[in-house]
Amino acid sequence: MTSNQTRIPAETHGLSLADLSDNARFVLEKLHEAGFEAYAVGGCVRDLLRGRSPKDFDVVTNARPEEVKRLFRRARIIGRRFKIVHVVFRDEMIEVTTFRGGDTGEVKRADGGMITRDNVFGSIHEDVWRRDFACNALYLDYASGDLVDYVEGLTDIRSGRLRVIGEPEDRYREDPVRMLRAARFAAKLGFHLTDDSEAAIAHCRSTLADISPARLFDETVKLMQGGAGRQTFLELRRLGLIEYLFDGLDHWIDPDDPVSDWGLIEKVLEATDRRVEQGLPVNPAFLFAGLFWRMLGRHRIKWLHQRVPADDAMVLAADEVMANMAKPLMIPRRLAEIIRAIWMLQPELERLAPPSARIGRGAEGKVDALDDNQRALLEAPWFRAAVDFLCLRSATPEVDESVCVFWRQYAPERSGHEEAPIEALQPSDFGKKRRRRRPRRRKPGGGNRQPSGE
């Protein structure tokens, strides 16, 4: 691979090391002092050049993971397909990767070209060709303050272009998740995919089926909770990628028809985007409850028509949705429990709300104004989350607003960080538990949950 390095001096590119977080600078400095090369790379450089504050800071170096680990007090090596070091600070984590080596025979691939093991280290001019998009492949050199650009990434950032580095089909086959990333960046950055980067998706999208459900779940959460969830969903749809995340959903979505499943999904995504913008915590249970709600309703009606009791119909429908529509993803068990709890409470909340004319007559959140059944609902796990979800539904024609108004009295919206629709889940509610329960998969490409740095 040719390497035409362009070095853009600090005076010209306008970025300063002072724009990085203190922790990122600390990590770069330590590496530099120990005699290693050290660069800030990827989304943080891209976002700073666009005048946005980065979500996180990624560092790349020629130090090996073990060497990086030794330099920091709280650092751990993670990842199997590609080892990465997480340097942990009180309120931030810096991901440090070692330059990836060129596309040598040492990289292990499955039959279709997917990279399954990748612990070949290299130098910066090999590393650059392993990155996904040109706008993500700019390096800010700690030693000189120069911006290092091999792939005209700076031009792309300035012109809003999203371009796969290298041959798009090969790069998507190597790692099909790059197609999802394309949708995410196009939506979040407002960038345009180049023609060949977009056209290749139609040829490669079926390879997404080879990605482990655990990694797909992680990516889906990033897609929907990255701050531009609504736009990302529409972009995924435009690129024909929805069906690889939510089996059978695409058919029910019509952005021009509010009566289609889009009616509620748009509300959920907008609510999520608003919270992300305000820096408030978001919980994926709420999101998935909304994505699958209408599908749940269709299954439920089918069972009701077969004269199954209402409660059982709900349980059967939830089982079906989780087994079918959510199949491409591995939704962690704890999360699935919360999603179900939110769903199960919906018909009860509707059934037990008084007719709209009687709402607001002096009850105003007084628990002793409730009957026993109503009072029991207040004690149900995830009651508040269920009310939040109910109120989202009441913004569509399916629930009368008065039902939301009534229950809201008993689950007042909280302000600021307190306002989380659902208490933020702990990391232990996700990957860790799930991993321990599952035996390690040895299938090529299977079970390799990778952190963001691939």
Active site residue 311: no
Q: Which amino acid is at 269?
A: L
- Over the window 175 to 194, marking each residue x when it contacts ligand ATP by CB under 6 A and - when it does not, the resulting string is x-xx----------------
Residue 432 token pair: 């860790």
**Residues forming a β-bridge with 139:** 41, 148
CB burial class (10 A; 0-12, 13-18, 19+) of residue 31?
A: buried
CA dihedral sign of residues 430, 179, 251, 261: positive
Which of Mg ion, ligand ATP, none is residue 126 near (CB under 5 to 8 Å by kind)?
Answer: none
Of 56, 398, 400, 419, the one binding ligand ATP (CB under 6 A) is 56
Within a 10 A sphere around the Cβ of 370, how many other Cβ atoms? 18
For 99, the 3-state DSSP assignment is coil
Which of Mg ion, ligand ATP, none is residue 52 near (CB under 5 to 8 Å by kind)?
Answer: none
* Helix residue spans in 35-129 (DSSP H): 43-49, 65-71, 124-127
Stretch that binds ligand ATP, among 53-61, 105-113, 329-337, 366-374 (CB under 6 A): 53-61
Of 57 and 262, CB closest to ligand ATP: 57
Distance (Å, rounded) from C-alpha 319 to C-alpha 342? 14
Distance (Å, rounded) from C-alpha 385 to C-alpha 420? 9
Please, which of residues 414-453 interact with Mg ion by CB under 5 A?
A: none
Of 201 and 289, CB closest to ligand ATP: 201
Stretch that binds ligand ATP, among 128-136, 272-280, 313-321, 352-360 (CB under 6 A): 128-136
By CB under 5 A, residue 23 contacts Mg ion: no
By CB under 5 A, residue 93 contacts Mg ion: no
DSSP sequence for 249-279:
TGGG--TT-TTSTHHHHHHHHHHHHHHHHTT
By CB under 5 A, residue 400 contacts Mg ion: no
CA dihedral sign of residues 392, 393, 397, 402: negative
Distance (Å, rounded) from C-alpha 90 to C-alpha 353? 45
By CB under 6 A, residue 453 contacts ligand ATP: yes
Distances (CA, A) of 109 to 57, 163, 175, 179, 215: 29, 24, 10, 18, 18
Give the shortest CB-136-to-Mg ion separation in angstroms.
8
Distance (Å, rounded) from C-alpha 35 to C-alpha 130? 24
By CB under 6 A, residue 137 contacts ligand ATP: yes
Of 218 and 388, CB closest to ligand ATP: 218
Distance (Å, rounded) from C-alpha 333 to C-alpha 129? 38
Stretch that binds ligand ATP, among 129-137, 211-219, 247-255, 412-420 (CB under 6 A): 129-137
By CB under 6 A, residue 43 contacts ligand ATP: yes
By CB under 5 A, residue 56 contacts Mg ion: yes
| Residue found by looking up tokens 């989304």 in the block | 43
By CB under 6 A, residue 434 contacts ligand ATP: no
Active site residue 196: no
Active site residue 58: yes
Give the shortest CB-451-to-Mg ion separation in angstroms.
10
Residue ranges binding Mg ion (CB under 5 A) = 43, 56, 58
Query: Which residues are marked as active site?
Result: 56, 58, 132
Contact residues for ligand ATP, defined by CB under 6 A: 42-43, 55-56, 58, 131-132, 136-137, 175, 177-178, 452-454
